[in-house]
Amino acid sequence: MFRETTYHVYIYASVAYAIMNLLPRNQQHYVMMVFLLAYMSSQHIYAMLTDFGGFNMDITTYTMILVCKLWMLSWTYRDGGEKPETLSKEQLANRHDMPTILQYLGYVFFCCGAIVGPSFEFQDYVNLMELKGNYKTLPVGLSKGWATLIPAMRELIGGFLVLGIHIYFTVILGFDIYFCGSEEFSSYKTMAERFVFFIVAMTS
């Protein structure tokens, strides 16, 4: 979907990892903040200059999430070098040392980051991968893993049901959200019908 613009993700990830590795642990998060916000701002300014008011979904859809994750990562890494008595209970639970390159790449490119939102801690990700902490009692393997099959199938069927409703309203009935942004929509039938059309198009 993002094609050649995915290089932004690799720049974010590479520079952020270098900042954490090369700069002092108790100072790197400040530099990280400047880098992330400057890069993110430049992406948005470029989009405004080249596609102001457009409906194109660009790479910032993902890099905005990545900015939050990398910023959180730099702070929790910083907390790992602080004295325990100076940290809160939450900071103590999420502090960590420098991630290995495998852990870092797994965290950066973890697919659920785009599904559940950006705000999940690196230590929470590690606990899930290594089945520690809150995840140590998860059913795994062929003998116990079947316990997750029925809930997973229920969610899958629900997803297909919602997709079917979406196709029915947008394709068959013609409630196209892009039509709401067109000039023709301003003169489409009555105000009340335009309002209903917009609500149905948005929710479908």
At what angle are helices 122-130 and 60-79 packed, to 10 degrees? 90
Could you tell me the pLDDT band of residue 145, with boundaries at 50, 70 and 90?
confident
The whole-chain average pLDDT of the chain stands at 89
Pair 11, 39: CB distance under 8 Å: yes
Q: What 3-state class would DSSP assign to 193?
A: helix
The string of pLDDT tens digits covering residues 147-173 is: 888 888 999 999 999 999 989 988 888
Res 54: pLDDT: 77
Domains in the chain: boundaries: 3-135, 141-203
Q: Is the pLDDT of residue 144 over 90?
A: no
Q: What 3-state class would DSSP assign to 57?
A: coil
Residue indicated by tokens 């991630």 = 99
How wide is the angle at C-alpha 39 spanned by C-alphas 34 and 54, nearest 5°? 140
Res 118: pLDDT: 65
For the chain, how far is it from start to end, CA to CA, in angstroms?
A: 22
Percentage, residues of the chain above pLDDT 70: 97
Tokens matching residue 111: 């697919």
Tokens matching residue 11: 């720049």
Tokens matching residue 89: 């209970």
